[in-house]
């Protein structure tokens, strides 16, 4: 029988907290600044319109009745912005599954990344952080923070392909080793492609080796295809894998998800 775990309220690790706070603060400040600029009245001097956020609120629901009553709820919020000097990415997802009224999955995941772009160069510097709260893992909470270099391999009107490499740490709360901190590397990539005016594709992949234990690593990957119904509404279908080569006792190495969602774009 799956054991329910309650969320711990102990403090976040210094390393993960610093990078997490820096990334989250800069991203939220950029969103607030963009909102304020949109509310300012126009002056007589014509000023170029600042880059806008591409934001999306997604909702997915599935279920079944019969011998058992199953229900799955998937919620997500994402925000993406590109300026001449920086790029911003933020994603929040929540997943809740029940079987005959009993929870079988309950996970909240937040991640944000900011990249500072070098002038007239494909290189950049990035910081990123994440918070993972899962009631059906042997651990309660997992916080990460990483920083490093990025390189835009392709960046044109239809395709964006970027690679990243850096170093950071992961703080796990409530694991079989109590609270633990591990230094962690990161090698990642993001691909965006616009097939047609209505059809687009997005994929992310991250390889996260444990620098304390050779051979141990985590892998996070997701891919999503989006079809625009109108300027404000779209349909999304996606897959996601979360892999840990050395899971805590009672956990599987891999969690695989698939989603079908209706998205409001604003």
139, with CB counted inside 10 A (0-12, 13-18, 19+), is buried
pLDDT at 198 > cutoff 60: yes
Q: For 216-238, how does the pLDDT look when each residue is reduced to its tens digit (9 = 90+)?
A: 999 999 999 999 999 999 999 99
Q: Which domain holds residue 113?
A: 14-40+49-265
| Local confidence band at 11 (pLDDT 50, 70, 90 cut-offs) | very low
Please, which pLDDT band fits residue 175 given cuts at 50, 70 and 90?
A: confident
pTM for the predicted model, two decimal places = 0.79
pLDDT-based confidence at residue 165 (cuts at 50, 70, 90): very high
Beta strands in the chain (DSSP E): 54-64, 70-82, 86-99, 102-117, 123-134, 141-155, 159-175, 178-194, 199-209, 217-228, 233-244, 254-265
Q: Is the pLDDT of residue 152 over 60?
A: yes
Q: Does residue 68 sit within a domain?
A: yes
- The yes-or-no verdict on residue 158 having pLDDT over 60 is yes
- The reply to whether 8 falls in a domain is no
Q: What is the mean pLDDT of residues 36-59?
A: 69
Which whole number is the average pLDDT over 138-158?
Answer: 95
**Rounded-to-10 torsion of CA 26, 27, 31, 37:** 40
Q: Could you give the number of structural domains in the chain?
A: 1
Using the predicted structure, report yes or no on whether residue 10 has a pLDDT greater than 80. no
Does residue 7 lie in a domain region? no
Q: What is the pLDDT of residues 70-101, one digit of tens each?
A: 789 999 999 999 998 999 999 999 999 998 88
| Spatial distance between the Cα atoms of 131 and 238, rounded to a whole number of angstroms | 21
Spatial separation of the C-alpha atoms in residues 208 and 184, rounded to whole Å: 6
Neighbouring CB atoms inside 10 A of 262's CB total: 14
Higher per-residue confidence, 206 vs 66? 206
Of 82, 66, 218, 90, residue with least CA distance to 157: 82
4 part of a folded domain:
no
User: Looking at the domain assignment, is residue 101 inside a domain?
Assistant: yes
* CATH of residue 123: 2.40.160.40
Q: For residue 231, tell me if it sits in a domain.
A: yes
Residue range 117-145, pLDDT digits in tens: 999 999 999 999 999 999 988 889 999 99
Q: Is residue 76 in a domain?
A: yes
- Report residue 96 CA to chain centroid gap: 17
């Amino acid at each position: 029988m799956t054991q329910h775990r309650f969320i711990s309220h102990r403090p976040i690790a210094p390393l993960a907290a610093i990078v997490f706070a820096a990334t989250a603060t800069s991203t939220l400040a950029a969103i607030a600044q963009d909102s304020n600029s949109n509310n300012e009245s126009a002056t007589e001097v014509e000023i170029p319109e600042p880059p806008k956020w591409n934001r999306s609120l997604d909702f997915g629901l599935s279920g079944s009745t019969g011998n058992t009553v199953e229900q799955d709820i998937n919620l997500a919020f994402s925000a993406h912005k590109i300026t001449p000097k920086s790029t911003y990415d933020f994603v929040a997802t929540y997943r809740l599954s029940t079987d005959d009224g009993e929870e079988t999955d309950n996970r909240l995941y937040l991640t944000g990344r900011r990249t500072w772009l070098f002038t007239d160069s494909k290189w950049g510097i990035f910081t990123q952080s994440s918070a993972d709260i899962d009631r059906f893992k042997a651990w309660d909470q997992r916080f990460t923070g990483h920083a490093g270099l990025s390189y835009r391999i392709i960046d044109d009107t239809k395709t964006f392909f970027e690679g990243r490499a850096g170093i950071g740490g992961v703080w796990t709360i409530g694991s079989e080793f109590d609270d633990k901190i591990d230094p962690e590397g990161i090698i990642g990539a993001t691909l965006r492609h616009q097939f047609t005016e209505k059809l687009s594709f997005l994929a992310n992949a991250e390889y996260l080796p444990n620098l304390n234990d050779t051979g141990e690593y985590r892998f996070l990957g997701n891919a999503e295809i989006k079809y625009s119904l109108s300027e404000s509404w779209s349909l999304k279908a996606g897959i996601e894998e979360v892999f840990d080569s050395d899971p805590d006792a009672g956990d599987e190495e891999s969690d695989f998800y698939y989603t079908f969602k209706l998205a409001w774009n604003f």
